Homo-oligomer: A and B are copies of this chain.
Amino acid sequence: MTDDTTRSETEVLIMEATYAALRRHGYADLSVAQIADEFKKSKSLLYYHYDSKDDLIAAFLSFAADQFMADIEAVTAAEEPVATVRTLVDHLLTVESREMRDGQRMIIELRGQAVSEPRFRERFTRVDDRLRERIRSALAAGVERGVFDAEIDPEDTAGMLYAALTGAMVQQHTADGDPTEAVRRMIHRRLDRLVVD
């Protein structure tokens, strides 16, 4: 499957089947047959498009990333630089439903597999780059318009904020001491101070 955003109905249904199977079985125990079980059309179509479980998962990661980035663009589209960063932080740290929680857990499990699967790594690289750039460009626009302290380094600050957001999400789903609210408070307080009165 290509990574552009025009996907056939069949491709979308295969991605939905992959999501449902991942949610039900997790990555480690997942088989292509289990994904095929969730697929509503002829199973031969699925086997025709994809060679292996990791092939399906890599395509799923691209699919999920495109949906996630479209979400991010939609919620931050009309916003000023400061509001963009705040909205992004809240969007990444909020788990409003069982489905969002399951989705984040799935992504974190797959991220762990990216240490050894180059195709997963490639997908996470792309998402990281896009999110970091979204934060960096908002910070840079804020400096340019005089709303953010000119002393900040937009690139390093974006790297730090995005690392904290990633770490908070990972810790939230893999350990008991959830740091989400502490990180949220710290970033908003930091932004308060960066805004020039």
Chain A interface residues (CB < 8 Å from chain B): 26-28, 105-106, 108-116, 120-121, 124-125, 127-129, 132, 155-157, 159-160, 162-168, 170-171, 173-177, 179, 182-183, 185-187
Q: Are A163 and B167 interface neighbours, CB within 8 A? A: yes
CB-based nearest B residue for A114: B174
How many copies of this kind of chain does the complex include? 2
Given contacts A163-B171, A170-B167, A186-B159, contact A115 B105 (CB under 8 A): yes
CB-defined contacts of A170 to chain B, threshold 8 Å: 111, 166-167, 170
CB-defined contacts of A163 to chain B, threshold 8 Å: 163-165, 167-168, 171, 179, 182-183
Q: Are A121 and B156 interface neighbours, CB within 8 A? A: no
A14 to chain B, nearest CB (A): 22
Name the one of B125, B127, B156 contacting A185, with C-beta atoms under 8 angstroms: B156
Q: Are B159 and A182 interface neighbours, CB within 8 A? A: yes
CB-defined contacts of A129 to chain B, threshold 8 Å: 177
Q: Report how far A160 CA is from B191 CA in the complex, Å.
A: 14
The 10 closest A-B pairs by CB, nearest first: A112-B112, A167-B167, A159-B182, A166-B167, A163-B167, A114-B174, A160-B186, A164-B164, A159-B179, A125-B175
